[in-house]
Amino acid sequence: MSIVQQKSENYIILYASQTGNAEWIAKNIQQEANERGYSGECRVMDEYDKVDLGKIEVLIAVTSNTGDGDPPDNAIKFFRFLRKIKSKTFFENTKFTILGLGDTNYTNFNNTAKRLEKKFLELGGSVFYEKGLADDATGLESVVDPWVANLWPALEKVCIKKNKKSNGQIEIIASSVANISVMDNKNNLQSNKVGLENSLTIVKKDESIKTTATTSEKSSLTIVKKNESIKTTATTSENTINGDTVSKSTLNLRKSDDATLVPIRGERKGSKLIIDLSDLESVTQLTSLPRIPTTLCKITKLDSEIKKTLSNDRDSFPSIPSFVHTPTRVFGAKISAVRCLTHPNALKRTLHLELDIKDHRDNIEFVPGDVFGILAPNDEEFVWTLLKILGIDHDEAQRTINIEAVEGAGINQFNRLREQLPTLLELFLTFPSSKLPFERLLDVLPPHQPRYYSIANSPLVDANNLHIAFNVVYYNTPEPFAVPKWGICTPWLDELSGRITTTNIRTPLLSPIEIPIFMKPNEHGFAVPNDNKVPLIMIGPGTGIAPFIGFLQHREKLRDIRRKISTIGLHARREVDKQFGDLWLFYGCRDTEKDFLYKDELEGFVKRGVLKQLEVAVSRAPGAGELGKPKYVQDLIRIRGKEIYELVSKKGALIFVCGDAKGMAKGVNDALIDILIEQANMDRVEASKLLLNWVQEKRYIRDLWA
């Protein structure tokens, strides 16, 4: 059999994406693979049932992570399917490679990609190209770009090129040389760069055009329809076509179904970013520019009669687009009451919200520890301003501003921009020449992501409402910028609930407002255990305490029910209490007078014997961090190390952690390792392995967020 015959005739790309990055990378790999002559398709992992997985010969997997190394929502069914496969030869004819997107700030770095590789190998698969593990902490592109570049020679060894598509190639060399205005916040600095704008030429199918570049401020743009071939010559290595950047002096561009160019001129209003570009005056050449991404979106005008109001009679709201995928049905929940949990002088403002779901109780079940998602809209003012910038007014003269890193040039300016945490709107205001068709913007923007919240109540106490706690996200960028910024979902919820500031007073809403939510399947075991005898060690600083309020309510209600029905004699209450394991809670705040969340409730749980041990770390207290004055929850854990070890090793206690993944979770993990080293006489490697076993056995369970 020849080498060519041993190759596969096609490939498949499966992606799992929580925020859209992995999806974007996967679809661009597919686009480039098809342009190189390979035949294949790209699907989300949960669409595994639409392909015959057992017959796939070449598989490329691209996956991100959510939480601390958990699979994205659109891969949960796929992982469940893999777990059910018993045959060790299921993938014996499959050659695969994996690209993982992770973050080393999390304990289980790129755990989803590693789990996939392990499972594929267990089922008989073989690796045709070494996996790539990109790190968002240092920049995904430093791994993704070379990994994709080196994928092609590896793919050529296992997959046949069916069609080289030479007729669809388009060679474009820059068609003009012009000066670009490089601007700092005070002056316009003329520098020797390339600008293309203004006039437009449409080339019909199969026409070939050859032009010679001339130096001018106004130049022609060429837009290519399907299967057209255009060749131009010039002296530079960059083209900007209405927002699409084409790299290198000679670049192969492939055909697309449609080519759309809308000349854009818009008003520039609002604040610009602070940047000094004088260091870039000497830059004359731009290299290593990105390829044009695949076209994904097309704008369609909707019927003006479509209702935008929420409806409980539908499975989803009309205003939610089809590309927003949710794991369960979207329904309407009414904001029925709000309570501010913090003092007006607290550094952060924390709200407790109640969402009325009684109209959906027949279809909704929940337990403490479950999570639900809220679909919050973008700020309307932001969107309308952005749309105006992108495009109605064609009269205003357009400056062109380019910042590119060329052998180190521009790095300082880029970092200066990044420090200001720019929004998309601010970038367009600062770099007005970057305006592009709205469809192209949608191509590269990830879908708006739901915001997830842990349920902070037990259905045994309140079955008609979902309770949540959250910090309202308002902040300033670092000095010297000090520009006010705010989040998307929490300020929206704050506004809908009336911006309450009075501390610890429950305020019902006279006119409840309905918002779209959906339940997230609990795949990771973060839920109050059914076995009431199991002791629990709960660790949740800040709003991480929210699910544990539900845990405590649940255990107390079950205990009270048992007490009422018990007939064990004179010591009935004491005997019932023995059926419930001890509950320990480690909590952290900045100031007990300003942001000790649920203080009254927690002290009540202690007083009524529900909570055996309440440990509180106060980070801003005088002397915090000194001997005997724990600053963070991990300090408390080390102090109580012996008791924690005995609870886990002798009584089978479960450890639950909820909160920040980057700082707190890593600190807690390190503290538990130190406890095992000291109490179990282990070295660090042994302790780390045991902790990992606890995770796999669901004895150490975490609900973490970035």
Is the pLDDT at 398 greater than 70, yes or no? no
User: What tokens appear for 278 in the block?
Assistant: 């004088």
Instruction: Give the length of the chain.
Output: 706
Q: In Å, what is the CA distance from 658 to each residue of 65, 366, 586, 616?
A: 17, 18, 11, 15
Is the pLDDT at 175 greater than 50, yes or no? no
Backbone region of residue 217 per phi and psi (left: phi > 0; alpha: psi in -120 to 50; beta: other values): alpha
Domain's final residue, options 131, 164, 197: 164
Rg, Å, the chain Cα set: 29
CATH number at residue 701: 3.40.50.80
Cβ atoms of residues 25 and 73 within 8 Å: no
Which of 196, 236, 601 lies closest to 433, judged by CA?
196
Each as own residue / partner, the long-range contacts of residues 203-210 (CB below 8 Å, 24 or more positions apart, any chain) are 203/228, 203/230, 204/228
* Reported pTM: 0.74
Which domain covers residue 671, as residue numbers? 536-705
Mark whether 68 and 156 lie in a shared domain. Answer: yes
pLDDT digits (tens, 9 = 90+) for 539-558: 999 999 999 999 999 999 99
In a domain, 271, yes or no: yes
* Of 567 and 504, more confident: 504
User: 576 in helix, strand or coil?
Assistant: helix
> 410 pLDDT band (50/70/90 cuts)?
low
* Sequence-ordered list of residues with C-beta below 8 angstroms from that of 483, at least 6 positions apart, any chain: 271, 420, 476, 477
In a domain, 525, yes or no: no
* Of 373 and 573, more confident: 373
Mark whether 244 and 290 lie in a shared domain. Answer: yes
Cβ atoms of residues 356 and 403 within 8 Å: no
Which of 632, 660, 645, 638 lies closest to 700, judged by CA?
645
In a domain, 318, yes or no: no
* Sequence-ordered list of residues with C-beta below 8 angstroms from that of 309, at least 6 positions apart, any chain: none
For residues 648-654, give the mean pLDDT. 96
What is the C-alpha separation between 495 and 510, in angstroms, rounded? 14
Mark whether 505 and 594 lie in a shared domain. Answer: no
Which of 12, 14, 30, 29 lies closest to 113, judged by CA?
14
What is the C-alpha separation between 373 and 351, in angstroms, rounded? 17
For the four alpha carbons of 102, 246, 420 and 193, in that order, the dihedral sign comes to: positive
Torsion of CA 377, 378, 383, 386, to 10 degrees: -150
In a domain, 111, yes or no: yes
In a domain, 196, yes or no: yes
* Sequence-ordered list of residues with C-beta below 8 angstroms from that of 300, at least 6 positions apart, any chain: none
What is the C-alpha separation between 269 and 380, in angstroms, rounded? 16
What is the C-alpha separation between 255 and 463, in angstroms, rounded? 56
Q: Exposure of 409 by Cβ count < 10 A (0-12 exposed, 13-18 middle, 19+ buried)?
A: middle
Domain's final residue, options 444, 465, 489: 444
Mark whether 464 and 552 lie in a shared domain. Answer: no
Is the pLDDT at 515 greater than 50, yes or no? yes
Mark whether 236 and 368 lie in a shared domain. Answer: no
For residues 39-46, give the mean pLDDT. 94
CATH number at residue 477: 2.40.30.10
For residues 367-386, give the mean pLDDT. 88
Which of 67, 64, 75, 47 lies closest to 102, judged by CA?
64
Q: What is the DSSP string of 320-368?
A: S-TT---SS--EEEEEEEEEE-S-TTSSS-EEEEEEE-GGGTTT----T
Is the pLDDT at 624 greater than 60, yes or no? yes
In a domain, 304, yes or no: no
- Amino acid identity, residue 607? K
Which of 370, 335, 329, 375 lies closest to 356, judged by CA?
335
Which of 478, 398, 413, 461 lies closest to 197, judged by CA?
398
* Of 563 and 291, more confident: 563
Which of 326, 299, 304, 302 lies closest to 315, judged by CA?
326
How many domains, in total, are found in the chain? Answer: 4
Is the pLDDT at 661 greater than 60, yes or no? yes
In a domain, 316, yes or no: no
Mark whether 249 and 395 lie in a shared domain. Answer: yes
Q: What is the DSSP string of 400-462?
A: ------BTTBTHHHHHHHHHT---HHHHHHH-GGG---HHHHHHHSPPPPPEEEE--S-TTT-
Mark whether 430 and 453 lie in a shared domain. Answer: no
Mark whether 171 and 64 lie in a shared domain. Answer: no
> 200 pLDDT band (50/70/90 cuts)?
very low
What is the C-alpha separation between 648 and 699, in angstroms, rounded? 9
User: 122 in helix, strand or coil?
Assistant: helix
Tell how far CA 129 is from the center of its chain.
Answer: 27
> 442 pLDDT band (50/70/90 cuts)?
confident
> 630 pLDDT band (50/70/90 cuts)?
confident
DSSP E strand stretches across 113-199:
126-127, 132-135, 170-172, 176-177, 180-183, 188-191
Is the pLDDT at 67 greater than 70, yes or no? yes
What is the rounded average pLDDT for all residues in the chain?
A: 77
Cβ atoms of residues 431 and 259 within 8 Å: no
For residues 368-388, give the mean pLDDT. 87
User: What tokens appear for 7 in the block?
Assistant: 């190759």
* 229-233, 440-444, 459-463: the lowest-pLDDT one: 229-233
Mark whether 605 and 701 lie in a shared domain. Answer: yes
User: 81 in helix, strand or coil?
Assistant: helix
> What pLDDT is recorded for position 390?
77
Residue 348 has, within 13 A of its CA and on its CB side, a CA count of 19
* Sequence-ordered list of residues with C-beta below 8 angstroms from that of 691, at least 6 positions apart, any chain: 669, 672, 673, 676, 700
> What pLDDT is recorded for position 259?
29
Percent of the residues in the chain that have a pLDDT greater than 90, as a whole number: 49
User: 24 in helix, strand or coil?
Assistant: helix
Domain's final residue, options 164, 184, 214: 164
In a domain, 409, yes or no: yes
Residue bearing tokens 């406890």: 675
> 481 pLDDT band (50/70/90 cuts)?
confident
For residues 263-270, give the mean pLDDT. 33
* 67-76, 167-176, 623-632: the lowest-pLDDT one: 167-176
> 96 pLDDT band (50/70/90 cuts)?
very high
pLDDT digits (tens, 9 = 90+) for 458-471: 999 999 999 999 99
Mark whether 563 and 653 lie in a shared domain. Answer: yes
Residue bearing tokens 């300016």: 413
Residue 10 sits at φ, ψ, to 5 deg, of -155, 175
pLDDT digits (tens, 9 = 90+) for 273-287: 666 656 555 555 555
DSSP bridge pairs for 99: 62, 132
Is the pLDDT at 448 greater than 50, yes or no? yes
Torsion of CA 324, 330, 336, 340, to 10 degrees: -40
Q: Exposure of 645 by Cβ count < 10 A (0-12 exposed, 13-18 middle, 19+ buried)?
A: middle
Mark whether 156 and 171 lie in a shared domain. Answer: no
Q: What is the DSSP string of 259-276?
A: -----------SPPPP--
Is the pLDDT at 640 greater than 70, yes or no? yes
Is the pLDDT at 239 greater than 90, yes or no? no
Mark whether 289 and 350 lie in a shared domain. Answer: no
What is the C-alpha separation between 228 and 225, in angstroms, rounded? 6
* Of 413 and 152, more confident: 152
User: What tokens appear for 41 in the block?
Assistant: 């398709």
Which of 453, 378, 423, 525 lies closest to 705, judged by CA?
453
CATH number at residue 103: 3.40.50.360
